[in-house]
Amino acid sequence: MPEEGSLISTYTVLELCEYYGGLKLIDSETIKERLIKWLTEFNVPEYLNKKIKDLSKGNRQKIQFIISILHDPELLILDEPFSGLDPISVEELKRAILKLKAEGKTIIFSSHRMEHIEALCENILIIDKGKCLLQGNLKEIEENYEIDGVKGGHSLNDIFISKVGTSNE
């Protein structure tokens, strides 16, 4: 799922999902069934026949997410999935991501929001200017990372600032 969606604004939500689902060879009945399930999950079942151009940026982001999972992928790559979402929509999307994770899906996502990473990730990779600064299990990193002589007990935000700040020296 790209950060900036490329949705066809003149299509309805259903038409757009049928288009993208068709590219993955999903039959129309399955597309509609999955779409209704996810629209209901996001509390917007009435959007089924709404035009993309009539949706807010946040709701377009939800549709972009639904399109990304219509074909039930084992691997999902999300680029800044919370961009443009209000706090309620962020929580809805977090729940959806955790649901997919619980189903055994592998999810890779990029984010500049450390609280989202802490809430959703088991393993992390911090990259700055194309260079890997830190990688591993999130809990182990938080328990063992040392800042100013103090080991453990640091937030991922503090760890990130510590790593990125030192990478520019």
24-46: per-residue pLDDT in tens?
A: 999 999 999 999 999 999 989 99
Q: For residue 112, is it within any domain?
A: no
Q: For residue 165, is it within any domain?
A: yes
Q: For residue 133, is it within any domain?
A: yes
Q: For residue 141, is it within any domain?
A: yes
What is the total count of domains within the chain? 1
Domain containing 161 equals: 123-169
* pLDDT band per the 50, 70, 90 thresholds, residue 2: low
Q: For residue 48, is it within any domain?
A: no
pLDDT in tens, 44-72: 999 999 999 999 888 888 999 999 999 99
Q: For residue 104, is it within any domain?
A: no
Q: Is 80 a catalytic residue?
A: yes
SS3 content of the chain, % helix, strand, coil (to 5): 50, 15, 30
* CB of 159 closer than 8 Å to CB of 115: no
Among residues 3, 15, 41, 80, the one annotated as catalytic is 80
Q: For residue 162, is it within any domain?
A: yes
Q: What value, to the nearest 5°, has the Cα angle with vertex 150 and ends 156 and 137?
A: 40
Mean pLDDT of 76-91: 88
Kindly tell me if the per-residue pLDDT of 74 is higher than 90. yes
Q: Burial of 41 by CB count in 10 Å (0-12 exposed, 13-18 middle, 19+ buried)?
A: middle
Q: For residue 137, is it within any domain?
A: yes
Structure tokens, 38: 């996810």
